Amino acid sequence: MADELLLESMLSITRHRGPNDTGVYVAKGCSSGASVAIGNNRLSIIDLSPAGHQPMSNEDGTVWVAYNGEIYNFQELREELVSDGHQFKSRTDTEVLVHLYEKYGMEMVKRLNGMFAFALWDVARQELIIFRDRMGIKPLYYAEAGGCLYFASEIKALLACPEIGVEVDADSLYQYLAYLYVPNPASLFKGILKLPPGHGLCWRNGVVRINSYWDLSYDNQFQESKEDIARRLRELLVNVTKRQLISDVPVGFFLSGGLDSSTLVACAAQTPGASLNCYSIAYKEEHARFEQSGDDARYARQVAAHFGADFHEIVVEPKVASLLPKVVWHMDDPISDPSAIATYLISEAAATRVKVLLSGQGADEIFCGYRVHLAHKTSALLRLMPKQIREEVAPRLLKCLVQYKDRAAIISPGLLMAFCRFGDKMLRTSSLGLQEQYSALRSYLVDSELRVLLSPEASSETPTRGHADAFQKHFDKVPGEDFINQMLYVDAKTFLPDLNLAYSDKMSMACSIEVRVPFLDNEIVDFMGRVPPDLKIRGFNQKYILRKAMEGVLPKSVLTRRKAAFGLPIRSWFKNELREMLTDMLSEDRIRRRGLLKPAAVTRMIRDNETGERDYTLPLWGLLTLELWHQAFLDQRTAATPERLLA
């Protein structure tokens, strides 16, 4: 009974992930003496009837499953299993899992195309098996404490277990300050771990084993012409989008007006009967002046009109910062990306009309869409400069450009500042080795800055090897690949699952919305693994093969549009509406009481950011997030609801 009460408490804390139904299964009379309890909060997407209740079992109750996600090839798998004699009582993809396990055992996971985190209890073998999808679209956290294994889709559920302590992990704090997220398998909570993407966990007789069941491959590259590869990619995108539109509830789209989200809308428009409900973020022109682009809504409207979509625009005001404590609570393992709030607001607005949103996330990590992917080519050009110009003249020139940003007549202040920020980073890292430069460009604070920022007490517990080790271990797994593929591999193992996919899942599920990411479909990921690197970046043209595939389908203005970050205008807000909040939350007194950072160092970052000496906007957003995380989870362990936290 104690297990069941604890399980119900854990499920109550994460009810937002599945408000339609809740179920528990507690194993009775286990021969090994094991006590096993699994539960599920259901967000009904396929087969809305009570037949979809979870946890779900096979016919004789010897295999049980609790599952979060979608299996996109479940209909084909179901047909195969029915022909083998398996009997189904629902139309859900959930039920496919138990029967597929009966047929293939643990190898069953290799037959799945989808996003998922699920736990299977094998009564006969007295074995618990947990799987997370190949790319890490769905989260899975676990901890061992008091001789027990606990697992959940969100950390806050684990904190309902009295045996699990709440403490900052020193190594993870170092990583968080560098990257603004914590790379897997760690979290910022000491002792609470993430199951890595493409991995399975097996628990038997109190022993935990973790194994990889899949990895990215760049073998067997295509030999066809770029025209043939582009045509095949376009056909694949249409088929995958059509498959991921399958739902018994209404479906919509994130639409920024960029290449990725516009591609999905274009592909969906070719699916008969598809409903094109599109949602986009906008903010006032005066707030956008320090950002790279404030044009998302304009391009999004253009794409929506081009394909006859129903367009919804959410205008964001600075008061949205009051949502930040709620966002931090829902995130639980902190991620400092303003895009999280934008995702939450779109999900909240869309929830009145749809229950599923398709997102363009993942495209940058498989098609090569980030500026860091061009750094090795840019550095090669910079190294042609005389050393004195590169190290002395060019940095001074960039500094002058920033100081005169408000007088720029041809280029917007935000775009000029973005150019100068990246230029400064390139100049400071151009002499580094390729892998070392990648790590430096993925960092917001380098090791020397972290040593200045951390308090002596925190510094004594941090790693001596530096933060870049989180990337290096993944580089080491693909030593012979082209550097473009090496970068994409590291992205797929760290930045993609631990930042982008993590905040997308948490913020959408906070609003009981399921987000699907067609670009990370098995077939597209496998296809792009075979595309030669020079078709991912052609010269300095990024996402070349995707642009080629969508020629004649998307408006030319979208095809040629430069990449613009998805997020909020926090640079403007920090200088105006959020200035008081920032200085209050990061006051020297608060920082001193936490004991993790040096108060003077934080004050200096705020001052330098205000004067324009350095752009510390995102690191300061990270420190603000860290303080709110402390308030939510360390000061009071956990609040059962975000409303209690805000009270």
Integer Rg of the chain from CA: 24
In the chain, domain spans? 2-212, 217-383+430-567
Token pair recorded at residue 65: 């499953």
Position 116 scores a pLDDT of 98
Q: Which residues, 6 or more positions from 593, have their beta carbon under 8 angstroms from its beta carbon?
A: none
d(CA 295, CA 273): 30
| Averaged pLDDT for residues 150-167 | 95
Instruction: Check whether 461 has a pLDDT greater than 90.
Output: no
| Averaged pLDDT for residues 577-595 | 92
d(CA 390, CA 154): 47
- With beta carbons less than 8 A apart as the criterion, state whether 27 and 35 touch: yes
Convert the pLDDT of each residue in 72-97 to its tens digit.
999 999 999 999 999 999 999 999 99
Token pair recorded at residue 515: 């987000």
Position 389 scores a pLDDT of 83
Position 399 scores a pLDDT of 72
- With beta carbons less than 8 A apart as the criterion, state whether 216 and 322 touch: no
d(CA 398, CA 66): 55
Q: What is the mean pLDDT of the chain?
A: 90
d(CA 306, CA 242): 19
Convert the pLDDT of each residue in 298-320 to its tens digit.
889 999 999 999 999 988 877 77
Phi, psi of 435, rounded to the nearest 5 degrees:
-70, -40
217-383+430-567: CATH class: alpha beta
**Higher pLDDT pick, 564 / 569:** 569
Position 1 scores a pLDDT of 42
Q: In which band, very low, low, confident or very high, does the pLDDT at 569 lie, cut at 50, 70 and 90? A: confident
Exposure b/e, 528-543, CB count within 10 A at least 16 = b: bbebbbebbbbeeebb
| Averaged pLDDT for residues 121-140 | 97
Convert the pLDDT of each residue in 347-379 to its tens digit.
999 999 999 999 999 999 999 999 999 999 998
d(CA 375, CA 483): 11
Identity of the amino acid at 438: Y
Sign of the dihedral through C-alpha 106, 110, 112, 118: positive
| HSE of 644, CA atoms in CB hemisphere, 13 A | 9
Q: Enter the pTM of the model.
A: 0.94
Query: What fold is seen in the domain 2-212?
Result: Glutamine Phosphoribosylpyrophosphate, subunit 1, domain 1 (3.60.20)
Instruction: Check whether 294 has a pLDDT greater than 60.
Output: no
Angle at 96 between CA 512 and CA 507, to 5 degrees: 20
Instruction: Check whether 30 has a pLDDT greater than 70.
Output: no
List, in sequence order, every residue forming a beta bridge with 316; answer none if it has no partner.
283
